[in-house]
Amino acid sequence: MADTVDDIVKGEFGRSALSFLESNAEPRVEIEEGWGEGSDHVALLPERTHEQEIAELDAARAWAQKRFDAGFGWITGPEEYGGRALSRDHQRAYDTLEAGFATPHMSAYGIGLGMVAPTILAHATAEVKERYLRAMWRGDIVACQLFSEPGAGSDLAGLQTKAVRDGDEWIVTGQKVWTSGAHLSDIGEIICRTDPDAPKHKGLTGFIVDMKAPGVDIRPLRQMTGGSSFNEVFFTEVRVPDSHRLGDVNAGWTVALTTLMNERAAIGGGSISTGSGNLSTPRLIDLVKHHGRAADPLVRQQVAEIYINSRVASYTNLRAMAKVAAGQAPGPEMSIAKLSLTMNMRRMSELVSCVLGPKLVADSGEWGTYAWAQFLLGLPAMRIAGGTDEVLRNIVGERVLGLPKEPAASR
């Protein structure tokens, strides 16, 4: 019988991990704060200054390097690229132990490790795997995902950024938008149109592009929440070596699906962090109690639905992760995880709006009221990221439930 996570924590691996953590980090001190104590920050999107982002990245990089060099950076990864080729239960065991220590926030690496690295491992050349995977997991480089375009958001196959072959290189020209973390990234995964005459799903190719290369212009986009963690990225005759191609020429749709399924799994499972550090069901219950709505049957029903759906979603995620752990590729059911997350966020926003009323939009300085405005303003972005709710419902209906394909729009 395979060891359980608890067995691994108590075994040699767990003892080694605990020794590393005790030597390099301080124990996490949980401070129980009541209503009105501490920060009331509940934003979904990170709202940091550029200086704060750089300081957070520097701290995260130092921790990632220290952790990787000790053998705990890529626990499940192939040994030839710096991993330890251990099970996901070993990773969960380490995560359980690290949660007890005060370590830096690692959100800057979420997209690269949650989406780009798995795609490189599945589709890249040996040269690219050797060059980037170890560096990504060690924290030496940051990666972003370059999919969405002004005229092709959820319809990814409609993208127009083009790549034209020139000997052993490709020349990339076009624009991407809503690229999280592009301003901090060293490399990016990009999907380009390489055959304009082929059906739109058939003429795409994926590449790994140097975000510091000549011709790459990154411009921040200001969100309605006030931050600018998204960017638009312009490519003007950017040269990319053919060795940095992902998969076969014109087979980029398969590459994109690999990334998207990992993205939805990461977002739905919570491994891609949002800006919220205080969002939980107990926090919502405290909100309801403080404002005297705990006896309201409709409000109680809303809280119950949030709790129940959160638990069901967590079990669905565990089943999906078990499939990945068994060596199977992420499938369309990963869309359920991401869709469940945004649907529950919508339930939270409806509850908060119901309880707070005008206090949600009037900054009176009262703790735990106006702060929720940033949560509500960030929700539309979460409903778009990783595929809109509408697109995900079509995927679940057609590819999971086997329902008839949605009729094409009339032309």
Which residues are known catalytic residues? 263
Write out the two tokens for 302.
Answer: 């809303």
Residue 22 CA to residue 126 CA, distance in Å, equals: 37
Distance CA 264, CA 38 (A): 32
- 130 in Cβ contact with 243 (< 8 Å): no
276-280: long-range contacts (C-beta < 8 A, 24 or more apart)?
Answer: 276/41, 276/42, 276/43, 276/44, 276/375, 277/39, 277/41, 278/38, 278/39, 278/40, 278/41, 278/42, 279/42, 279/348, 279/375
The tokens of 209 are what? 């592009």
**Distance from the Cα of residue 277 to its chain's centroid:** 16
| DSSP code at position 36 | T
User: Cβ distance 234 to 161 under 8 Å?
Assistant: no
Q: Would you list the DSSP string of 384-408? A: HTTS-HHHHHHHIIIIIS-PPPPPP
Helix (H) or strand (E) holding 56: helix 50-69
Q: Are 376 and 357 in contact (CB under 8 A)?
A: no
